Structure 1
Amino acid sequence: MEIRTDAESTSFSSSLIAAVSYGIASMAMVFINKAVLMQYAHSMTLLTLQQLVTTLLIHFGRKMGYTRARGVDLATAKQLLPVSFFYNANVAFALASLKGVNIPMYIAIKRLTPLAVLIAGCFMGKGRPTTQVTLSVILTAAGVLIAALGDFSFDLFGYSMAFISVFFQTMYLVLVEKSGAENGLSSVEIMFYNSFLSLPFLMFLIIATGEFPYSLSVLFAKSYSFSFLVILILSLVMGIVLNFTMFLCTIVNSALTTTIVGVLKGVGSTVS
């Protein structure tokens, strides 16, 4: 009989907690975002607010001693710039894909991410995962192909944007895992740099798409509604929780584990 040491048990518990926390936060975020977007349709402005609040919260938390995150370092910022780029590119292409792909097919295509992470890991010399994991990922990808064959509303542009989004999501998760393993960065530090570096890109995006400044005036108008404010604050808080648990799960476990948890989240959301 195999006996776990205390260190192994602690490591296993941390990995499990990180994965479960990300799954719960991810599933909850789907419903919270849905509730917000039913009243406030400017999704990119909402994402910008989430990143701004994240940046300010971590910054002041560090100043007041609530977090051990290190201060802004130019070398680290340059190192994590690709993470921020791929993160925001994933968001931009995901939103673009939804213009031509229905939501069920979009969710199905995003389930190709574990396969993409699996392939990326092999190219980066991480080694081959267990046969059970490989077969599970391939089975998920096969299900996506079957779903695509039954999609009579096929849109080449939408599908292309969704596949590119899968690529960008794969890249930023792999880079997050690498940053945590090789550079010793915590999930809070990666989250801070990702949010901070995302702000210029998101500001450009909401101006280029025409959301700003109209989206801001709509936000001020709706701020008089107490119920909307509650949902908005909940969305901002859960945005922080989601990113934290996602980065934590990726660092403690792996990019592949995070994507598989995302697939399970999609199943749970569908059932709910």
Structure 2
Amino acid sequence: MNDATVAPPAPRILTRADGAAIAYRKTPGKSPGVVFLPGFMSDMTSGKAMYVEALCEARGQACLRFDYFGCGASSGAFTDGTIGRWAEDAVAALDELTEGPQVLVGSSMGGWIMLLTALARPGRVAGLLGIAPAPDFTEDLLVQGLSPEQKAALEKDGVVYVHSLYGPEPTPFTRALVEDGRRHLVLRRKMPLTCPVRILHGMQDPDVPWQTSLKLCQMLEGDDVEIQFVKAGDHRLSQPHDLDRLGRTLETLLDSLT
């Protein structure tokens, strides 16, 4: 018997109108389907994305995970990506790669993309599940946290590099990302979304304050909104017990929609 590890098949490609190649993996199954939206500088191979796919496969539920432009296996440079561009990728994936009602699962920045996608296609979105969602983070967290020197560098050079808790290399943030983010802010007014919304947020999150989820709750027009605060939880919520909580929450939401 050959014990060599078999490499997974290459992801499939959705070609955007401008020629960009958006990599994705799709699991067929019953409705409602589930679409996973990664966070900033993350991709569809993250632990949470893989966990959600495995859960959906076990239930026979349709699932889609994909990489934004400039991320993971998709084409383009990460520093050319913006909130609006990534939201357009998500809407295109929803339109072209899924059928029927979908539950969007957004992690961190993916929670912002999740909201923009639902606002663009409210008739296609049956429910939302945010994991430490970070709507408006470019304006409310990034810009507010920069030093005067960093703000000057961002204005002068068009990019600033910020120390990361998750790797040795600093994280690049571009002026285009910040300026485009201002055109897509969602927490400044009520959002006309009435589908069920579930939110998980760690209270020890060093990146996105748990109060962000409270504000998000207040800005949603619908009443079917539930937040689970995890007292000792961090930003990623990717430990085994965190994934179990994610799975229970997603399954309960899916069961309520069928």
Task: Normalising by structure 2, report the TM-score.
Answer: 0.22
- Where relative contact order (Cα < 8 A, 6+ residues apart) is larger, the structure is 1
Higher radius of gyration, 1 or 2: 1
Task: Normalising by structure 1, report the TM-score.
Answer: 0.21
Higher normalized strand content (fraction of residues):
2
